[in-house]
């Protein structure tokens, strides 16, 4: 048939391209026609996928690889010629007048936003079996990260629409998955009715892996278990840009009046505390690119936002990844490398990979680049001659490198907030977290959950409530502060102003208490809590929570992460709750 002929001619085209690019070895072992034809067909199906999922096709991938491998062999540093210095950005203080007015500006803009979650990573450092977005954000309510993210976007949607009078905007939400996470992410959404979001609001974009490279000539590596298959590995979170472009989603968003695209990562349970004010900064400052940052401890596994000035006068403000910051500083006259300054922090703000891009200029840029992002390669050589690799490598890219190709006229800025408010990722397994240098954040399931309670307690304190001091406890070898286990649904406390309106100063919560607020119009007025209280209310209910509540509450039990009789979710955090006694009220 015509389509078969076309297909055959396409295969010939792909084969010629591979031969032109020095990939003859891929066919050397092929037997005569008629033998292993199915496997040969599968080979071309894979080559075709690899070709169509990379901007410029597989030929461009191989050419880029040759160049980057040659640079790596020559020991060329991507930052050669650049001098780093500390950039200046917007520093926000939680709860002050500026913060509150930026939050209001951000909520207003939210109806023009689209959200993008990059969730294609396997989370190798955490070593959790499932997908990370299915992990509980905290185990008091057990709500997973994805549920929290969706509820936060819906709360923003509702608040934003209300501010502008009635509107029917549905904020779009795209999730980038990979072969490692796609099926489980869809299952999580479908089995939970999309956590209340309309299914049409959610778009899944699956990233493809890229071909592995066997040597310095960028010869593609064959799968050791299948000679008709090219070995592949993840290309990194930078794929999100080419996927937004090639799927047409960006154009669609632009045509429906969207102004902002907000990117975020899979396990930061505090992130939405920072979204309204950061979006407010983008809108009021007119930033084309706004990266969120927190004070960074030296050697912390988050990139440093750095001003780079080239000998030829070019400058850019960009993330320098955590493994590159130290060598860059040492090579440019800072013998201590990545070190803390007198504040106890690195002078370079830490990138938390939450980016807010202005959609108009972003889509214009992607029309030129098709979403291709500056790449890097990190081969592990067998010896100092750098002639062979210990195992195959591949090109990688990072979403925060997007500004690298922008002209100097682009308005690229960043916004720094306190880490207690904005950043508590779950990335490290218990053993690695326990080895983190003293004073540096653990980035574990233990610290990620405790950070939620600390942030919520501090927010309530700032709103005027009396919240007892934390106690210090050690779980899985990590010493953490244990604050009252306070948690609320996003539609209750989206912004500081919302919280302040709903919490009156005459309330108190003891350290051993648990407080869950699950409802929109719940006012805490004259509550004195010493135990566990769960308040659930439907949207229509106007609820006042008051009086003295005392019960045995919930106790915290230690769980050893090696104890396989416990649930994995408890083992990775090193504790679980025993619900001894509680008051649960439903309105």
Instruction: State the minimum distance, in angstroms, from the CB of residue 183 to ligand UGB.
Output: 15
For residue 516, give the DSSP letter. Answer: E
Among residues 232, 319, 447, 487, the one that binds ligand UGB under rule CB under 6 A: 319
Per CB under 6 A, contacts with ligand UGB among 196-235 are 234-235
Nearer Cβ to ligand UGB (259/394) = 394
Most distant CA atoms of the chain, gap in Å: 85
398, 236 contact by CB (below 8 A): yes
Instruction: State the minimum distance, in angstroms, from the CB of residue 302 to ligand UGB.
Output: 4
Instruction: State the minimum distance, in angstroms, from the CB of residue 267 to ligand UGB.
Output: 7
256, 246 contact by CB (below 8 A): no
What whole-number distance in Å separates Cα of residue 583 and Cα of residue 239? 48
Structure-block tokens of residue 435: 């080895």
Per CB under 6 A, contacts with ligand UGB among 365-404 are 398
What whole-number distance in Å separates Cα of residue 253 and Cα of residue 249? 6
The phi, psi pair for 495, rounded to 5°, reads: -130, 170
Nearer Cβ to ligand UGB (427/497) = 427
Instruction: State the minimum distance, in angstroms, from the CB of residue 374 to ligand UGB.
Output: 13
Instruction: State the minimum distance, in angstroms, from the CB of residue 178 to ligand UGB.
Output: 6
Per-position DSSP letters for 196-241, written without gaps between them: GS-GGGEEEEEEPPEE-B-STT-PBPEETTEEEEE-EE---TTHHH
Among residues 203, 237, 561, 571, the one that binds ligand UGB under rule CB under 6 A: 237
Q: Does 270 bind ligand UGB (CB under 6 A)?
A: no
Per CB under 6 A, contacts with ligand UGB among 46-85 are none
Q: Does 427 bind ligand UGB (CB under 6 A)?
A: yes
Among residues 64, 265, 346, 537, the one that binds ligand UGB under rule CB under 6 A: 265
Among residues 100, 113, 118, 175, the one that binds ligand UGB under rule CB under 6 A: 118
Per-position DSSP letters for 302-338, written without gaps between them: S-EEEEEEETTS-EEEEEE-HHHHHHHHHHTT-TT-S
Q: Does 429 bind ligand UGB (CB under 6 A)?
A: no
* Tokens 């959404």 found at: 189
Among residues 425, 430, 441, 574, the one that binds ligand UGB under rule CB under 6 A: 425
Q: How far is CA 419 from the centre of its chain?
A: 15
For residue 32, give the DSSP letter. Answer: S
Contacts of 103 (CB under 8 A, 6+ apart): 276, 277, 280, 495, 496, 497
Query: 327-366 mask for ligand UGB (x: CB under 6 A)?
Result: ------------------------xxx-------------
Comparing every residue's Cβ against ligand UGB, the nearest one is 121
What whole-number distance in Å separates Cα of residue 101 and Cα of residue 62? 50
Instruction: State the minimum distance, in angstroms, from the CB of residue 357 to ligand UGB.
Output: 16
Among residues 55, 84, 87, 121, the one that binds ligand UGB under rule CB under 6 A: 121
* Interacting residue ranges for ligand UGB, rule: CB under 6 A: 118-121, 176, 178, 234-237, 265-266, 302-303, 319, 321, 351-353, 398, 425, 427
């Amino acid at each position: 048939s015509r389509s078969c002929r076309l297909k055959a001619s396409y295969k010939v085209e792909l084969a010629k391209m591979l031969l032109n690019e020095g990939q003859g070895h891929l066919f050397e072992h092929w037997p005569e026609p008629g033998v292993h034809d199915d496997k040969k067909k599968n080979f071309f199906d894979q080559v075709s996928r690899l070709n169509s999922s990379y901007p410029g096709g597989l030929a461009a991938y191989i050419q880029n690889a040759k160049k980057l491998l040659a640079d790596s062999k020559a020991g060329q540093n991507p930052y050669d010629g650049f001098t780093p210095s500390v950039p200046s950005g917007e520093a926000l203080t939680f709860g002050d007048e500026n913060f509150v007015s930026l939050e209001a500006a951000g909520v207003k803009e939210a109806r023009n936003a689209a959200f993008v979650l990059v969730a294609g990573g396997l989370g190798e450092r955490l070593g959790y079996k499932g997908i990370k977005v299915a992990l509980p954000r905290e185990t008091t309510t057990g709500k997973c990260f994805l549920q929290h993210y969706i509820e936060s976007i819906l709360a923003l949607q509702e608040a934003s629409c209300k501010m502008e009078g009635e509107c029917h905007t549905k904020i779009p939400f795209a999730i980038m998955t990979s072969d490692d996470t796609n099926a489980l992410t869809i299952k999580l959404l479908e089995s939970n009715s999309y956590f209340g979001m309309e299914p049409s609001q959610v778009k899944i974009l699956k990233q493809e892996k890229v071909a592995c490279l066997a040597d310095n000539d960028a010869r593609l590596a064959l799968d050791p278990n299948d000679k008709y298959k090219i070995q592949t590995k993840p290309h990194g979170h930078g794929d999100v840009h080419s996927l937004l472009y090639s799927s047409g989603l960006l154009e669609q968003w632009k045509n429906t009046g969207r102004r902002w695209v907000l990117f975020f990562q899979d396990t930061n349970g505090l992130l939405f505390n920072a979204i309204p004010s950061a979006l407010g900064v983008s809108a009021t400052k007119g930033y084309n690119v706004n990266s969120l940052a927190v004070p960074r401890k030296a050697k912390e596994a988050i990139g440093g936002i750095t001003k780079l000035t080239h000998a030829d006068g070019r400058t850019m403000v960009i993330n320098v990844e955590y493994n590159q910051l130290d060598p860059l500083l040492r090579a440019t006259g800072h013998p201590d490398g990545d070190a803390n300054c007198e504040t106890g922090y690195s002078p370079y703000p830490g990138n938390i990979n939450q980016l807010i891009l202005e959609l108009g200029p972003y889509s214009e840029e992607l029309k030129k680049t098709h979403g291709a992002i500056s790449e890097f390669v990190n081969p592990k050589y067998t010896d100092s001659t750098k002639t062979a690799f210990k195992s195959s490598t591949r090109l990688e890219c990072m979403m925060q490198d997007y500004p690298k190709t922008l002209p100097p006229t682009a308005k690229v800025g960043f916004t720094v907030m306190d880490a207690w408010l904005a950043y508590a990722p779950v990335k490290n397994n218990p053993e690695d977290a326990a080895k983190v240098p003293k004073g540096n954040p653990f980035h574990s399931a233990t610290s990620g959950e405790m950070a939620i309670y600390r942030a919520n307690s501090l927010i309530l304190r700032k709103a005027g409530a009396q919240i007892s001091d934390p106690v210090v406890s050690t779980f899985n070898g990590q010493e953490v502060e244990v604050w009252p286990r306070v948690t609320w649904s996003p539609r209750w406390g989206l912004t500081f102003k919302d919280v302040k309106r709903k919490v009156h100063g005459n309330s108190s919560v003891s350290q051993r208490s648990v407080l869950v607020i699950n409802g929109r119009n719940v006012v805490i007025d004259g509550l004195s809590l010493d135990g566990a209280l769960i308040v659930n209310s439907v949207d229509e209910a106007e609820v006042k929570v008051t009086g003295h509540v005392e019960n045995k509450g919930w106790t915290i039990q230690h769980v050893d992460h090696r104890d396989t009789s416990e649930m994995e979710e408890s083992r990775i955090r090193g504790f679980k709750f025993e619900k001894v006694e509680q008051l649960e009220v439903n309105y």
